[in-house]
């Protein structure tokens, strides 16, 4: 036995709910795709992660280039 | 703002289906917006990432849909009086006016911000201005206030190719302006031809269309004048970076046919038009749809052919306005 009873309202609104769900999925996919497209453009990125890395140190990079 | 509001009560909204909300966004208008914006985006110098281009087109279309929803919200009272608009979601009682307004405002915000983030601030600003122009300047003010409503209001429909162009380049150029002018000058003869054979509708809703305020002879004069004024803009595009020999040849033929149609409308009087059930007016209206579609298709074709070196060399001497 189902723990919830389906009201007639749920049946009538199912098409609307499915349509809205699909719209939201498409929107999320688009924002995700846009993020990937924006981030993957340009040079490789490195972030500081609380430990010293010479490649992130401008003085070290300048020293290397001399 | 005009205080002319038709005095009537709207039907109580029933259970709206998803399709009713889609209808609120005027999908047929959106299809023209998508097409012209896509052409503007594809022919612009430069390149967007395919996902960015897809997002730009979707959000331009969504912005157009949002302004359509706001237009339906504001015009619900007169939509119910016209045969052409009677089955729209609000007068049909499927969507409440409040829901339509909420959807219009929400989608306006989402589309403008997302277009800005996906492309650039100028494109986002132009989309915001287009929505404002259509919803406020045209729908709320001009439509019920002046017979020049569709002349100035037509600017809203003319912005999409410019927004597509700006989404890629970040700036407005002569080519973008000419694509804008092509739609802007095309709108009056297109809609006035429609108004000539849909006369009872606009009259019933007390919308001051030129046919209602200045009479049908004046409308015929205006159609001819605006069609003549459209020709230089359509041909000038042929001498810029978006044009070329094929565009120019096609534009010459299309403009000659459109002029001939406008001339035929101008020469007729009401007795002749009623005798053949506005056959000429209906023919010119249908042709005007093809006119715009074929111009933008030719612009796209020229872009494709420009990749062929032999054709690019052949077309180069024509592009005398390219430097501007």
ipTM of predicted assembly, 2 dp: 0.80
Per residue of chain B (324 residues), what is the pLDDT tens digit?
444 444 444 444 567 889 999 999 999 989 999 999 999 999 999 989 999 999 999 999 999 999 999 999 999 998 898 888 889 999 999 999 999 999 999 999 999 999 999 999 999 999 999 999 999 999 999 888 888 888 888 899 999 999 999 999 999 999 999 999 999 999 999 999 988 887 667 778 888 888 888 888 999 999 999 999 999 999 999 999 999 999 999 999 999 999 999 999 999 988 888 888 889 999 999 999 999 999 999 999 999 999 999 888 888 888 888 755
Note whether B149 and B227 are same-domain residues. Answer: no
Is residue B145 a part of any domain in this protein?
A: yes
Tokens of A24: 């939201």
A26-57 residue pLDDT tens: 999 999 999 999 988 766 667 777 888 887 78
pLDDT given at position B14: 61
pTM: 0.86
Is residue B1 a part of any domain in this protein?
A: no
Residue A17 Cα, gap to closest chain B Cα (Å) = 8
Chain A residues whose CB is inside 8 A of the B118 CB are: 34
Residue A33 Cα, gap to closest chain B Cα (Å) = 6
Chain A residues whose CB is inside 8 A of the B51 CB are: 30, 33-34, 36-37
Nearest chain A residue (CA) to B57: A30
pLDDT given at position B7: 44
Q: Is the distance from CB of B214 to CB of B147 less than 8 angstroms?
A: yes
Note whether B149 and B27 are same-domain residues. Answer: yes
Residue A34 Cα, gap to closest chain B Cα (Å) = 6
Whether A61 has its CB under 8 Å from any CB of chain B: the answer is: no
Note whether B94 and B178 are same-domain residues. Answer: no
**B17 → closest Cβ in A16, A34, A41:** A16
**A37 → closest Cβ in B18, B49, B114:** B49
Domain boundary among B128, B151, B172: B172
Give the residue from B229, B249, B238 showing the smallest Cα distance to B321: B238
Note whether B143 and B187 are same-domain residues. Answer: no
Note whether B149 and B226 are same-domain residues. Answer: no
* Count of domains observed in chain B: 2
Note whether B209 and B136 are same-domain residues. Answer: no
Chain A residues whose CB is inside 8 A of the B15 CB are: 12-13
CB contact under 8 A, A15 and B51: no
Cβ within 8 Å of residue B20, ≥6 positions away: B89, B94, B95
CB contact under 8 A, B15 and A12: yes
CB contact under 8 A, B17 and A36: no
**A33 → closest Cβ in B15, B21, B51:** B51
Is residue B301 a part of any domain in this protein?
A: yes
Chain B residues whose CB is inside 8 A of the A37 CB are: 49-52
CB contact under 8 A, B117 and A16: no
The domain in which residue B113 lies consists of 13-172
Domain boundary among B172, B190, B211: B172
Is residue B6 a part of any domain in this protein?
A: no
Is residue B43 a part of any domain in this protein?
A: yes
Task: Determine the residue among A12, A18, A31, A34 to mutate to test chain B binding: the one whose Cβ has the most chain B Cβ atoms within 10 Å.
Answer: A34
**A34 → closest Cβ in B15, B18, B51:** B51
Domain residue limits, chain A? 8-65
Domain boundary among B146, B172, B198: B172
Note whether B95 and B190 are same-domain residues. Answer: no
Is residue B2 a part of any domain in this protein?
A: no
Is residue B3 a part of any domain in this protein?
A: no
Note whether B191 and B96 are same-domain residues. Answer: no
pLDDT given at position B151: 87
Q: Is the distance from CB of B94 to CB of B14 less than 8 angstroms?
A: yes
State chain A's mean pLDDT as an integer: 83
Note whether B69 and B156 are same-domain residues. Answer: yes
Residue B93 Cα, gap to closest chain A Cα (Å) = 16
Tokens of B82: 């016209």
CB contact under 8 A, B52 and A37: yes
Note whether B181 and B250 are same-domain residues. Answer: yes
Whether A12 has its CB under 8 Å from any CB of chain B: the answer is: yes
Note whether B241 and B276 are same-domain residues. Answer: yes
């Amino acid at each position: 036995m189902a723990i919830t009873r389906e009201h007639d309202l749920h049946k009538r609104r199912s098409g609307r709910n499915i349509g809205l769900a699909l719209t939201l999925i498409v929107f999320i996919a688009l924002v995700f795709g846009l993020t990937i497209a924006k981030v993957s453009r340009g040079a490789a990125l490195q972030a500081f992660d609380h430990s010293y890395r010479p490649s992130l140190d401008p003085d070290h990079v300048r020293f290397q280039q001399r | 703002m005009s205080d002319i509001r038709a005095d009537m009560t709207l039907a109580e909204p029933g259970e709206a289906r998803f399709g009713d909300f889609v209808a609120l966004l005027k999908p047929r208008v959106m299809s023209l917006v998508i097409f012209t914006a896509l052409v503007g985006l594809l022919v612009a110098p430069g390149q967007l990432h395919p996902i960015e281009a897809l997002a730009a087109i979707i959000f331009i279309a969504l912005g157009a849909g949002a302004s359509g929803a706001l237009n339906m919200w504001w015009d619900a009272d007169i939509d119910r009086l016209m045969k052409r608009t009677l089955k729209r979601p609000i007068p049909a009682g499927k969507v409440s006016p409040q829901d339509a307004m909420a959807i219009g405002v929400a989608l306006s915000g989402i589309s403008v911000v997302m277009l800005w983030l996906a492309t650039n601030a100028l494109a986002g600003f132009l989309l915001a201005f287009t929505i404002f122009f259509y919803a406020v300047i045209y729908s709320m003010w001009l439509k019920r206030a002046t017979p020049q409503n569709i002349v100035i209001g037509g600017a809203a429909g003319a912005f999409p190719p410019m927004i597509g162009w700006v989404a890629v380049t970040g700036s407005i150029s002569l080519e973008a302006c000419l694509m804008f002018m092509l739609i802007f000058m095309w709108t009056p003869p297109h809609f006035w031809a429609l108004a000539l054979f849909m006369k009872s509708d606009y009259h019933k809703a007390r919308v001051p269309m030129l046919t209602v305020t200045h009479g049908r002879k004046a409308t015929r004069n205006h159609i001819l004048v605006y069609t003549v004024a459209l020709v230089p803009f359509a041909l000038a595009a042929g001498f810029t970076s978006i044009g070329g020999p094929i565009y120019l040849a096609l534009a010459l033929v299309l403009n000659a046919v459109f002029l001939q149609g406008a001339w035929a409308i101008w020469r007729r009087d009401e007795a002749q038009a009623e005798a053949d059930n506005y056959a000429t007016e209906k023919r010119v209206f249908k042709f005007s749809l093809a006119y715009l579609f074929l111009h933008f298709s030719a612009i796209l074709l020229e872009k494709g052919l420009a990749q062929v070196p032999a054709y690019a060399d052949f077309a180069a001497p024509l592009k005398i306005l390219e430097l501007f």
